[in-house]
Amino acid sequence: MRNLLWVIPVLPFLGALLNGFLLRHRIGKKAVAAIACGTVGIAAVLGLLIIFDYLGGPEHAAHQGFEQNLYEWMPAGPLATAADGVKSFTVPMGFLIDPLSAVMLFVVTFVGFWIHVYSVGYMAHDDGFQRFFTYLNLFMGAMLLLVLGNNYVVMFVGWEGVGLCSYLLIGFYYKEDFPPYAGRKAFITNRVGDFGFVLGLFALVSTFGTLRYTELFPRIAANPSLLTGPGHFGLTLAGFIAVCMFVGAMGKSAQIPLYVWLPDAMAGPTPVSALIHAATMVTAGVYMVVRSNVIYQLAPSISMFVAVIGCATAIFAATIGLVQTDIKKVLAYSTVSQLGYMFLAAGLGAYSAAVFHLMTHAFFKALLFLGSGSVIHAMGGEQDMRKMGGLKKHMPKTFWTFVLGSGALAGLPPLAGFFSKDEILHSAAAGGHWILYAVGLITAALTAFYTFRAVNMTFLGEFRGTHEQEHHLHESPPSMTVPLLVLAVGAVFAGFVGLPVEKWNAFHHFLEPVIYRIAGHGAEEHATSALFNLVLLGVAIVVAFGFTFLAFRLYGAARGLSTDVAMERRFPAAHRVLANKYYVDELYDKTVIGGAWALARTLFRFDAGFIDGLLVNGTRNATVSFAMLSGFFDKYVVDGLVNLVATVLDGFSRVFRRLQTGYVSNYALVLAVGMFALVAVYMLIYRG
Amino acid sequence: MTFLTAHGSDLLFYLFAALTIAGGIGVVTMRNPMYGAISLLLSFLSVAALFLLRSAEFLGMVQIFVYGGGIMVLFLFVIMLVNLHRLPEIKLFGGQSPLAAVVAVLLLAFFGYFLIKFQFGPALVRPEAFVLADGQSLGNSQAVAWNLYTQNLLPFEIASVFLLIAMVGAVVLGRKQ
Amino acid sequence: MFEVTTTHYLVVSFLLFTIGIFGIAARKNMITVLMSIELVLNSVNINLIAFSYQLSDLTGQIFAIFTITVAAGEAAVGLGILIALFRLRETTMLDGAVELKG
């Protein structure tokens, strides 16, 4: 069974091939949907089967992963001997099943499948139905490559592939102006990050000559000194590699400073936001950091950097989310914020906490996005919450699933988010990083607040839209509500695999084999007392419920939008800053983008003016000069030769003309002389 | 007296040789062609005498007949025919006469060189060669006739044809158009 | 050298020949030129006879006869040409024979 591992990523690619090329414009929507959802569904089932097969197998028992290499993709031959004496660099096309990739596989295929189903309903009236599912399947294939690859190169292929699909799907409504721009913004920002990622890979190759996880990580663990020596730019080698790869994660997972693309990515269809920008693609950075944990453990300063960035991003995004009026934007900033939590955890060495939060976040954030999609669908495309309100009675299924998702996001027990978020805060507190803990706690408060602000504005109170919109309000079809229900189940129950008590934290134990513990490095598990844990738990619960309640108070039924209006009046400057997202986009525009455009313009001027001038004028001058030379040559040399011939002939003829005098006497004399000469020659030579 | 007897032929030779040369010079230098013709006649006759001195009796006679009696008459007729006008020769020896003189000198030099180089042995070793005709020693004429009609018959006939051609040619040329 | 040998005759022959050549080349009167030609032919005859005597061979004399024959024919034809030319140019000067057309 496990030998069919390679089939899992291939299936969605097959779906994309069929829908995108072979059967393009040839089959009806039902068939398209069947192919798209079918491939992902089968991949999901197959994934589960393979996971169980692996779990019962010998590799898992030995704390190893199961590898399947299809072929040697880049047999580049022996490089110089690596620092620890191993030669040869090859990159296989291969896949790996181990606890970490199993978790990712499950999340990606499960959530992906239900989002596919949801899209059938959501995109039912769109002309680009087949195109959408082609791209979606393509994305699934790339994402599966990313998480299942057994080496960094395959991961990178998937990394780039999901970036491409993100661009394709954000810009799905290409006929409008903004979506293509947003797609470009996403892709280019990603590429900036990818540059760093690739640098890190190069450094790894030059040091170890391999990029396969099962070869690389054990060797690093065995020779940590290879990476703790000096690297570049004042960092250790490990630090350099870690920061380079983290730059890639910054881009892909929307951390400061490369997060700016994610809010604009909401221009894409809502299922895209759910799948790519909540559940899967953006989590690729977290996956990568966790996968590379052995490197990060050898670079403690960079790990701390990762944690700080994550924490800063978390609170930064949360503050922006407070004043957003577009329902999807609220969720987008929320995603950035939650990703920050994951990196906070990863940076502190709590890798399993990060992955745990990744998993729970995938469920409830996908749920929230799909729910918002349902709302938007009912509102006929309206996304502004100020025009919503009181939708609860019109779409109860959507409402209740949305509430469950919001509760999970806010960290209300016993929903899933509570457990994962608490574990992260606990690891911060347990490690003595009180500032990080405090910021994280504040962020949690803000999260709860803005989440239920959104809930109230959307579903409760009076309807604030137009009459046509009110008439149009309806619950979504089953193709959309069933996935909501399924994901809601996940949002509720997924937390129970990671209970806060150590010996009951199944998730943590599950991921143990993937986390390297290098003696003398890395975050040791801090043992904390039960009291400590309980206090933390209590604080978390109080904060979460408290701010949720506050949100209800300020935005509840009667209040409506009045709080927003009042806040704006009382804190106009602060409001303006937040509403304009701290003017970060404007800053980038002026500096980076402006610089790039200026450079482009200069180069253009150089090209058009100098190069063209040089080439064009130069060619012209050269040709003209050559033509002139040619002309001269022809006129003086060639014609001169002709004239010379004529002159010579003329000279000769002048001489010879004198032979023909007409005088007989002349002829007679010449005759006599000639005869005389002949005889003389004869006589003198032959002597008579 | 004995000197004359012994060297009489030599003296005659010198006389006639001088006359020949004089006649020749006369031809070339006389302005009036009539005088030149007379000069030529003198030359011809002298040459005939020279022939006789060298045992070519027949030829001597032929010379007088043909040249003196035929050709000279012809010349004189023609001279008189065309000499009705004055003959102003602007320059007697103009044009290329210097060049011709040079050539003449060169020719003489060349001939002189060979004359000096070559020595001839005794002459007329067999005088009977000139009078032998059909094995008989008759006379020069007979000898020449016999030779002409036997050994050199072909050239003889050709000569006659040649004379015919010349005759016809002269007639044609002299016709009035 | 008083004694006359073949050489003396050759001297005469050569002299006459040279004079004749000179006459052909230098004189402008056509008649004089023709007469100079006769001189040349005569010189040749003298030469032939001299050698005939020297070698006791009759062939020389025979040859001389033919020379005389040719000279006669040539003189006739030459004078015919002269007459024709005289009729054309009204003069016996060779200048008239420089441009001959038709």
A665 in reach of chain B (CB within 8 A):
yes
Q: Measure CA A688 to chain center.
A: 116
Amino acid A83: pLDDT: 59
CB–CB of A215/A96 below 8 Å?
A: no
Amino acid A213: pLDDT: 86
CB–CB of C46/B47 below 8 Å?
A: yes
**CB-CB under 8 Å, A663 with B99:** no
Residues in chain C closer than 8 A to A669 (CB atoms): 24-25
Amino acid A511: pLDDT: 82
User: In terms of DSSP bridges, do strands B136-137 and A66-75 run parallel, antiparallel, or are they unpaired?
Assistant: unpaired
- Residue C66: inside a domain: yes
Q: Give how far B107 is from chain A: nearest CA, Å.
A: 7
- Residue B81: inside a domain: yes
- The ipTM assigned to this model is 0.91
CB–CB of A333/A278 below 8 Å?
A: no
> Residue B47 — very low, low, confident or very high, per pLDDT cuts 50/70/90?
very high
Quick one: tokens of A236?
């250790």
Identify whether residues B84 and B129 lie together within a single domain.
no
Residues in chain A closer than 8 A to B100 (CB atoms): 665, 669
Q: What is the DSSP letter of A669?
A: H
Q: CATH number, domain at C40?
A: 1.10.287.3510
**CB-CB under 8 Å, B118 with A688:** yes
B35 in reach of chain C (CB within 8 A):
no
Chains in contact with A, where contact requires at least 3 CB pairs less than 8 Å apart: B, C
Query: What average pLDDT does the segment B78-83 reach?
Result: 85
Chains in contact with C, where contact requires at least 3 CB pairs less than 8 Å apart: A, B
Instruction: Please tell me the distance from the alpha carbon of residue C41 to that of residue B123, in angstroms, as a whole number.
Output: 24
Q: Give how far A662 is from chain C: nearest CA, Å.
A: 4
Better-predicted residue by pLDDT, B23 or C3 = B23
Residues in chain A closer than 8 A to C33 (CB atoms): 664-665, 668
CB–CB of A68/A154 below 8 Å?
A: no
**CB-CB under 8 Å, C12 with B20:** yes
**CB-CB under 8 Å, A672 with B110:** no
Smallest CA-to-CA distance from A476 within A407, A405, A403, A396 is with: A396
Identify whether residues B38 and B84 lie together within a single domain.
yes
Locate the chain A residue with the closest alpha carbon to C99.
Answer: A662
Identify whether residues B80 and B133 lie together within a single domain.
no
- Residue B120: inside a domain: no
Chains in contact with B, where contact requires at least 3 CB pairs less than 8 Å apart: A, C
Instruction: Please tell me the distance from the alpha carbon of residue A290 to that of residue A310, in angstroms, as a whole number.
Output: 14
The predicted model scores a pTM of 0.65
- Residue C95: inside a domain: no
**CB-CB under 8 Å, B110 with A676:** yes
Query: What average pLDDT does the segment C56-75 reach?
Result: 94
**CB-CB under 8 Å, C8 with B50:** no
Candidate from A663, A669, A672 with C-beta closest to C98:
A663
- Residue B115: inside a domain: no
Identify whether residues B148 and B80 lie together within a single domain.
no
Candidate from B99, B110, B118 with C-beta closest to A680:
B110
Q: Give how far A674 is from chain B: nearest CA, Å.
A: 11
Q: Exposed/middle/buried for A649, CB within 10 Å: 0-12, 13-18, 19+?
A: exposed
Instruction: Please tell me the distance from the alpha carbon of residue B147 to that of residue B140, in angstroms, as a whole number.
Output: 10
Better-predicted residue by pLDDT, A39 or B93 = A39
- For residues B169, B171, B172, B176, the Cα torsion angle rounded to the nearest 10 degrees is 150
**CB-CB under 8 Å, A680 with B99:** no
Identify whether residues B12 and B91 lie together within a single domain.
yes
**CB-CB under 8 Å, C39 with B115:** no
**CB-CB under 8 Å, C61 with B130:** yes
Residues in chain B closer than 8 A to C80 (CB atoms): 169-174
Q: Give how far C96 is from chain A: nearest CA, Å.
A: 9
Percent of chain C with pLDDT over 70: 97
Q: Give how far A679 is from chain B: nearest CA, Å.
A: 10
CA dihedral sign, ordered A103, A108, A109, A112: positive
How far CA C34 is from CA of A280, A346, B33, C70, C100, in Å, comes to 133, 139, 11, 14, 19
Helices (H), A149-283: 152-170, 178-208, 213-222, 225-228, 237-252, 261-264, 270-274
A688 in reach of chain B (CB within 8 A):
yes
Candidate from A661, A662, A665 with C-beta closest to C25:
A665
How far CA B68 is from CA of B4, B40, B63, C23, in Å, comes to 29, 9, 7, 20
Amino acid A197: pLDDT: 94
Residues in chain B closer than 8 A to C26 (CB atoms): 28, 93, 95-97, 100-101
Q: Give how far B95 is from chain A: nearest CA, Å.
A: 9
Locate the chain A residue with the closest alpha carbon to C27.
Answer: A665
A672 in reach of chain C (CB within 8 A):
yes
User: In terms of DSSP bridges, do strands A90-97 and A66-75 run parallel, antiparallel, or are they unpaired?
Assistant: antiparallel
Candidate from C25, C94, C100 with C-beta closest to A669:
C25
Residues in chain A closer than 8 A to C26 (CB atoms): 665
Q: What is the DSSP letter of A637?
A: I
- Residue C37: inside a domain: yes
Identify whether residues B62 and B149 lie together within a single domain.
no
Phi-psi region of B176 (alpha: psi -120 to 50; beta: other; left: phi over 0): beta
* Structural domain boundaries enclosing C66: 6-89
Quick one: tokens of C26?
């230098």
3-state secondary structure A442-487: HHHHHHHHHHHHHHHHHHCCCCCCCHHHHHHCCCCCHHHHHHHHHH
Residues in chain A closer than 8 A to B99 (CB atoms): 669
How far CA A503 is from CA of A416, A499, A527, B6, B111, in Å, comes to 18, 9, 12, 179, 151
CB–CB of A124/A490 below 8 Å?
A: no
Amino acid B91: pLDDT: 66
- Residue B106: inside a domain: no
* Structural domain boundaries enclosing B154: 125-177
- Residue C94: inside a domain: no
Chosen for mutation from B99, B102, B116, B120 (greatest number of chain A CBs closer than 10 Å) is: B99
A663 in reach of chain B (CB within 8 A):
yes
**CB-CB under 8 Å, A661 with C99:** no
Is A70 in a helix, a strand, or coil? strand
- Residue B29: inside a domain: yes
- For residues A585, A591, A594, A600, the Cα torsion angle rounded to the nearest 10 degrees is -130
Identify whether residues B13 and B67 lie together within a single domain.
yes
Residues in chain B closer than 8 A to A683 (CB atoms): 114
- Residue C99: inside a domain: no
**CB-CB under 8 Å, C26 with A664:** no
Instruction: Please tell me the distance from the alpha carbon of residue A356 to that of residue A290, in angstroms, as a whole number.
Output: 11
Q: What is the DSSP letter of A617?
A: I
Contacts across the A-B interface (CB distance below 8 Å): 21
**CB-CB under 8 Å, B100 with C75:** no
- For residues A518, A150, A155, A86, the Cα torsion angle rounded to the nearest 10 degrees is 60
B111 in reach of chain C (CB within 8 A):
yes
Chosen for mutation from C24, C40, C51, C93 (greatest number of chain A CBs closer than 10 Å) is: C24
- Residue B141: inside a domain: yes
Amino acid A139: pLDDT: 94
Alpha carbons within 13 angstroms on the beta-carbon side of residue A493 total 6
B110 in reach of chain A (CB within 8 A):
yes
Residue B87 predicted with pLDDT over 90: no
B28 in reach of chain A (CB within 8 A):
no
Q: Give how far A651 is from chain B: nearest CA, Å.
A: 24
Identify whether residues B134 and B89 lie together within a single domain.
no
Q: Give how far A675 is from chain B: nearest CA, Å.
A: 11
Residue type, position C100, single letter: L
Question: How many domains does chain C divide into?
Answer: 1
| pLDDT beneath 50: ranges in chain A | none
Is A518 in a helix, a strand, or coil? coil
Query: What average pLDDT does the segment B16-45 reach?
Result: 94
Residues in chain C closer than 8 A to B148 (CB atoms): 62, 65
Contacts across the A-C interface (CB distance below 8 Å): 25
Question: How many domains does chain B divide into?
Answer: 2
Q: What is the DSSP letter of A151?
A: B
Instruction: Please tell me the distance from the alpha carbon of residue A591 to that of residue A250, in angstroms, as a whole number.
Output: 19
Chosen for mutation from A658, A664, A670, A675 (greatest number of chain C CBs closer than 10 Å) is: A664
Residues in chain A closer than 8 A to C24 (CB atoms): 665, 668-669, 672
Quick one: tokens of B88?
């102003």
How far CA A580 is from CA of A130, A324, A560, A583, B54, in Å, comes to 37, 10, 23, 5, 152
How far CA A205 is from CA of A90, A152, A199, A226, B40, in Å, comes to 10, 10, 10, 13, 128
Residue C75 predicted with pLDDT over 90: yes
Quick one: tokens of C25?
């080349």
**CB-CB under 8 Å, A663 with C25:** no
How far CA A435 is from CA of A500, C34, C53, in Å, comes to 22, 148, 159
- Residue C71: inside a domain: yes
**CB-CB under 8 Å, B96 with A665:** yes
Q: CATH number, domain at B91?
A: 1.20.120.1200
